[in-house]
Chains A and B, each alone.
Chain A
Amino acid sequence: MAEIRQTFFQECEEQLSEMELGLLAMDEGNADSETVNAVFRAVHSIKGGAGAFKLTELVQFAHSFETALDHVRSGKLTPTPEMMKIMLRAADVLSDLVEASRDGREINEANYAGIAADVKALTTVDGVEEVEEPIDFQPTVIDFGMPELAIEPAPTASDEHEYRINFAPRPELYANANETILIFRELNRLGAMQATCDASAVPALDEIDPNGAYFSWAVQLKSDVEIAAVREVFEFVDGEADLTIETDGQAEVSDADIAALLAQALGTSPPADEANASPAIAETISVEAEPEPVAATSEAVAEEPVAPVQAVESSKPDTKAAAIPTQTTIRVEFDRVDRLINLVGELVINQAMLSQRVIEANFAGSSSVVIGLEELEQLTREIQESVMAIRAQPVKPLFQRMSRMVREVADATGKEVKLKTEGEATEVDKTVVERLAEPLTHMIRNAVDHGIESPEVRLAAGKPAEGTVRLTAAHRSGRIVIELSDDGAGINRPKVRASAINKGLIPADMQLSDSDIDNLLFLPGFSTAATISSISGRGVGMDVVKRSIQALGGRISISSRPGLGSTFSMSLPLTLAVLDGMAVSVAGQTLVVPLTAIVETLKPKKSEVHGLGSDGRVMSIRDTFVPLIDVGTQLGFRETPTQPENSVALLVETGGGARNALLVDSIQDQRQVVIKSLEANYGTVAGIAAATILGDGRVALILDVDALVSKSFEETLVGELHYGTGG
C-alpha cells in the first residue's frame, strides 16, 4: 500500500504538470476540447486516488475544481480571463494540497477557503449551487424539504424476512452481459430461495428473437437481511428488468419511484419512462416498515441524484492524442544514476591516465596500442554522453513553477503580468534544473516587482496594460542559454548609479558606460528598491543570483533599454560532471581554464602592456584595451606580477560580454576533465570553481573565470575608491 501511495504522488506530479500546461493553454485561449478534457482528467484522477487514501481535504477541493472543469468541458461555462485566473489559482492550491498530503503536513482550510469559494461560485447559478453529487465516503445530510415524505420509525421486525420478488428481465439486461442465473446465485447467498419460471411469454419458435427476453421469474426468499441488501443484488439490472420486491405484505418502493418523487419535489422532470412507470406511487408515497428507512432513502437519493442535465459527453476517440506514440520508460532511482555517473567519471580519469602512460612509454603513433587507446577514448566519451543524457531533464517543470510565481507576485503587486515560455523541452542536467530554481525565482520576482510597471503607468506609456515576462531556454554551442526578459520600464540607470554612489560602492565621479551601470546590480550589497518590498527584498540580491549561476559554471549578463524592458541572459553548462578545459601552468601549478570562457590566446609584447592606476594593468589588443589579470598574483601563488613578455595571455569573455586577459605562464594542452567538487571535499575558494584529477594522478584546480575577473574588478574598484578618497 505504501508503494501505491508513492506511485499515487508520483502520478499526481505528472497530472499536476499536465493540468497546469492545459490551463495555461486555456488561458492563452488556444485550448481545444481535448486539452480541457486532459485537465479535467488530471484533476479527476487526483481526486480518485486521493479518495483511496482518504485525503479528505484534497478530495473535496479537487471535487469542486473538477465540477467547474466539467462545466467548461460540457460548454456550460465559457472561460473568461477572470475565470481562468481563479482556475490557475485553484491549480496552485491543488498542488499545495497534494504536496501537504504527501508530506503528511496539516492542512489549514482557512488558507485556501477564498479560492475554494471562488471555484464553487463558478458553478453557482443565480446564487444557487447546482445539485452536486454527494461524495460517497463523505455522507452529507441532504435536506430535500419534503414534508409529505413522512418517515416513521419502523417497528422492529423479526429477524427473518420473507421476500417475494417478481423479476422480468428485458433484452437490455442480457445485452449488457448480466445474467439471471448470476443474480439468483447472489440471492441464494442471502438465504433460502426458490424461483419459479414463468415461460408463458415465450412466442412460437419461428418468432423467437435470439436476443430477446421472454422468461420472468417469481422468487421466494427467506432471509434475515434487510431489503436494501436484497435490492443491492439487483443494483446492476435496475432499469433493465421489471422488478418488484415485497416483504411482510408491503411493496417496497423502488429507486425509480423515489427519483420520480424527488424530481417532482424539485420541480424537474425525471426521464419519461420512469415517470410513466410509477405515476401513482409518485402521488402517494409512503415508506413502509423498514428498520432503517432514513438510511435507505438517503442511499437511494445518493444512487439516483436528480440530475436534470444528462451531460452528453463526447465519446469520440481522440485522434490527436492517439497519434502520439507512447514512450516506454522505466523508473530508476537517482542514486543509481549518480553512482553510474561517478563511475564513468572515474573511467574517464583512468582512461586519461592510461593515455599518459602510453605516451610516456613512447609507443609509435601507428601502433595497435595507440589505435586501441583512441578507440577506447571515443567509446568512453560516448558512454559519458549517454550517461549524462540519463540525468538530463527538460526545463519544463521549472518553467511551470515560474508561471505560478508570476501569478502570485502579480496579484500581490496589483500588476497584470503574463508569462510566456519557450523551449520548455530543452534538456539540461537535473542538478542544474534544481539549482536554477532559486535564482530564477528571484529574478522572476524582480522582473514582475521592479521591471513591469503598474497597469496605469503602462497605459500612460502607450503599452498594453498587461505586461509580458518571457522565459526562454535553448541549447547554444554545448551550453544551455536561459533568457528572462520583461517589457517593463528597463533599468533606471541614473537611479542605479546614484544608489551605488550612496552606498559607497563606486566613487561619485567614476565614469561608467551604460552596461557598467547595469552590471552594478550584481554588486554585493546593492538593491535598487528605495523601500525594500516584501516581494523582491528578501535579503537576496542579484549578487547572490549571480553567485548561484556561477557556482553552476554559468554566466549571467544583463541588457536593458529604457522604457522597453530588461533581459537577463544566463548561459549554463549542460552537465556538471565534465568540462572541456585548457590546462595551463601558473607558478608551477597546473590550472584548468574552462574552454567556453576562452576567446583566444595571445603572446603579449612588452609594448602592448600598460600600467593603469595604482597596480592595474591593461593590454592593448588590436585597437582596444583589456584589463590584464595576473592569475598567479590574483590567486596568491606569488607576490610580484609576472613579466607579460614571458607569459601567455588568455583572452576571456565573461558574462555580459566583458573581455579580460588572464596572464598565465604557459599552456599545456586542451583536455576534458572530470569535475570534482571542491566545496564538498574542502571548501569554497574565491576564483576557483572546482578541482579535477589529472592523468598523472595530480589534482588541478579549475578556474572560475567570472569570479576571478569580478574579484579583480572589485579589488580595483576598492583600490580606486581609496585612491579617490585619499586624494
Chain B
Amino acid sequence: MTQTILTVDDSRTMRDMLKMALVEAGYNVLQAVDGVDGLDVLQTSAPPDVIVTDINMPKMDGFGLIEAVRKDSRYRKVPILVLTTESDAAKKMRAKEAGATGWIVKPFEPTKLIAAIRRVAA
C-alpha cells in the first residue's frame, strides 16, 4: 500500500524538494506550511504514515506541532521526523523531548531521506 507522508515546512523550496524526492520514491505527499496548517491537514485527512516537519516556522514551530500531535490519541503513534539544518544537538534533544521519532539533516540526500522514513515507517 502506498504510504502517505505529511511534510510541514514554511519554505516552498524545501516543500518542493521533499515532494520531489518522496514522490520519486513512490510515496503519497501531503503538504503544510507551518504547524497550525499541519494540524489542519491532519484534521482533514487520514493519518499519514510519517510526518516530516521543519523546526523553525511561523505561527507554530516544529516543537509545537510535535507536542500537539503527541497529545492527540489518534496520532500518538505517528512517527515524526524533524528537519534540522545542522547536527544541532540541542535542537535534536528538544525535538526528542517534544516527542520526535528521529531527524533528517538538511541539506538531505534523497536516499538519506527515504532511508530515515523507511526506518520509522511501519
Contacts and interface: CB of A to CB of B under 8 A. Distances in A.
B60 to A, nearest CB: 4
Nearest to B35: A317
Contacts of A316: 64
A315 interface: yes
Interface in B81-122: 85-90, 93-94, 96, 98-103, 105-108, 118-122
Nearest to A259: B89
A318 interface: yes
Contacts of B80: 176-177
Contacts of A317: 35-36, 59-61, 64
A52 B13 contact: yes
B14 interface: yes
Contact of A38 (B12, B58, B78, B99): B58
Interface in A312-345: 313, 315-318, 321-322, 326
Interface string A15-47: 000000000000000000000011011001101
Interface stretch (A303-311, A392-400, A643-651): A303-311
Contacts of A233: 119
A295 to B, nearest CB: 15
Contacts of B77: 177
Contacts of B3: none
A51 B119 contact: no
Contacts of B61: 313, 315, 317
A236 B16 contact: no
Interface in B6-34: 10-14, 16-17, 20, 33
Interface string B60-81: 1101100100100000111110
A236 B12 contact: no
Nearest to B119: A186
A194 interface: no
Interface string A664-703: 0000000000000000000000000000000000000000
A133 B87 contact: yes
B106 A7 contact: no
5 contacts: A4-B20, A177-B120, A305-B88, A313-B63, A322-B36
Interface of A: 1, 3-4, 7-8, 10-11, 37-38, 40-41, 44-45, 47-49, 51-52, 54, 133-137, 172, 175-179, 182-183, 186, 233, 235-236, 239-240, 302-305, 307, 309-311, 313, 315-318, 321-322, 326
Interface of B: 10-14, 16-17, 20, 33, 35-36, 56-61, 63-64, 67, 70, 76-80, 85-90, 93-94, 96, 98-103, 105-108, 118-122
Given A240-B96, A304-B89, 5 more contacts: A11-B13, A45-B14, A305-B88, A315-B67, A321-B59
